Amino acid sequence: MSISISGKIPTGSIEVVDEHDAANLQLRLLRDPGDDHLAIGYYHFRASGIRGQSCTYRILDVAEDASARLAGREGYEDGWTNTGPHASYDLKHWFRIPATLEGRDYVFSHVPEHDVCYYARWAPYPPQREMDFIARCQRSPRVSLSTFGRSGLGADLDLMTIGTPGPGKKACWIISRQHPSETMSGYFVEGAVERLLDEHDPIVTSLLQRAVFYVVPNINPDGTQLGHTRANGLGYNLNREWVAPSLERSPEVFHTQALMKKLGVDFCIDCHGDEELRCVFLGGPLEIPSRSEHLDTLFKTFERAWNAASPDYELGHPYPGGSPAEADLRMAWNWIAEEYNCLSVLLEQPFKDTSWWQDPIQGWSPERATRLGRELPTAVHGVLDQLR
């Protein structure tokens, strides 16, 4: 049987250049529409007819096409060094394959045990899994589901409300998948929500007596379906749209801001992933124009509470390249902190692994992302009474 490679799968993304020689399978990354110079790097594809063959995959021109980096990262290892793709035969268990940069190309080899194998920069979070998860959660009496708007291409924007709103209750938000390729956010949300629905968990019971959680499990459904790295379906990076969102460019942010204005915000976590860092990293409201000692103390208290709950959140990792003098309010966590004078944090999970504990089989994995999410309620519980 001949080898066949395809990115025409749910959340798939790759250009097939040459699939005729197992020893030299040539591929190319696809760039998102729009002008974001960082909006390339995600890949997810299916290879069939490969059982027992020594396959070498060569993603061409990565060193040129995907060499752009965020400012201040010169002292950090880039996202293509000392890592490799996740691979899976069943789309459930993902394992890591080592890869190297050879000149301009990103190269990895694999002898598959089965006829079909999936490869991705990091384990995908399938749309069907997201739909099943949301549908399953509505069985809980703690959950109500609603649609609060539509994306640029007409997809529903889902809101999960966990707990019962009432006078004096804190409004705690979880936002996920602004950048669709950062799929660890989906697993993180699963872990957080599953714990919030545990009726036998005393920390959760205490939280929901005093707070309501508003969860946007996927703020960028179009980018997810299209296999984008960072853009929505209209070609815009949602995490640069928070100062002036519009229905023409970023309806997903526009509708989220309108909902926040209606419901209020006392806490927010915006969930992302980082291709270069070897840690779980948090950014806080420390450089916004209305920065204060209270917010600084609150952020540090939250950090310590999460570190105590899970060693996977390590203390002591500085802002990459040094903290900016002023926060970029186009980014969700900064805009929300400034607008609502609240604890709003950025969560970055690694594509690679943590520095304190390396998993040689999976690296940072869906399982660890889910477990990290399960510890979020503990960290929030540690600061809840201090939020206002």
| Catalytic positions, written as ranges | 348
One domain for residues 108 and 180: no
pLDDT of 261 over the 90 cut: yes
Q: 9 and 35 in one domain? A: yes
Same domain, 164 and 146: yes
User: For residue 52, is pLDDT > 80?
Assistant: yes
Whether residues 78 and 131 share a domain: the answer is no
Query: Is residue 332 scored above 80 in pLDDT?
Result: yes
Mean pLDDT of 142-149: 97
Domain boundary among 78, 105, 120: 120
Q: Residue 66: CB partners within 8 Å, gap ≥ 6?
A: 29, 40, 41, 79, 80
- CA-CA distance, 155 to 147, in Å (whole number)? 10
For residues 107 and 198, membership in a common domain is answered with: no
Whole-number average pLDDT of the chain:
97
Helix (H) or strand (E) holding 83: none
pLDDT score at 369: 98
Give 220's pLDDT tier (boundaries 50, 70, 90). Answer: very high
- Looking at the predicted structure, is the pLDDT value of residue 370 above 90? yes
Tell me the two tokens of residue 289: 């124009």
CATH number of the domain that residue 31 is part of = 2.60.40.3120
Residue 1 has pLDDT above 80, yes or no: no
With H, G, I as helix, E, B as strand and everything else as coil, classify residue 381.
helix
Phi/psi of residue 114, nearest 5 degrees: -130, 175
Between CA 357 and CA 279 the distance in angstroms is 10
User: What is residue 319's predicted lDDT score, i.e. its pLDDT?
Assistant: 86
For residue 356, name the pLDDT band (cuts at 50, 70, 90). very high
Question: Which stretch of 68-72, 157-161, 282-286 has the lowest confidence by average pLDDT?
Answer: 68-72
Print the domain residue range for 139.
127-386
Q: What is the pLDDT of residues 304-328, one digit of tens each?
A: 999 999 999 999 998 888 888 899 9
Give the pLDDT confidence score for residue 118 in this predicted structure. 98
Cα separation of 323 and 153, whole Å? 36
Dump pLDDT digits (tens) for 89-112.
999 999 999 999 999 999 999 999
Answer yes or no: do 12 and 149 share one domain: no
Same domain, 309 and 165: yes
Considering the domain architecture, whether residues 78 and 198 belong to the same structural domain is answered as no
**Does residue 158 sit in the same domain as residue 68?**
no
Query: Cα–Cα distance between 22 and 201 in angstroms, integer?
Result: 52
Last residue of one domain, picked from the residues 120, 148, 174: 120
Tell whether 60 and 82 lie within a shared domain.
Answer: yes
36 and 184 housed in the same domain:
no
Residue 309 and residue 160: Cα distance in Å, rounded? 24
User: Domain ends where: 99, 120, 141?
Assistant: 120
Q: Which pLDDT tens digit goes with each residue over 75-92?
A: 889 999 999 999 999 999
Nearest to 172, CA basis, from 326, 22, 9, 381? 381
Rounded Cα gap, residues 194 and 113, in angstroms: 34
Q: Specify the number of domains making up the chain.
A: 2
Q: Is pLDDT of 176 > 90?
A: yes
The CATH number assigned to the domain holding 243 equals 3.40.630.10
| Predicted local confidence at residue 161, as pLDDT | 98
Q: 104 with 230, same domain?
A: no
| pLDDT tens profile 226-235 | 999 999 999 9
Residue with tokens 């519009």: 246
pLDDT at 263: 97
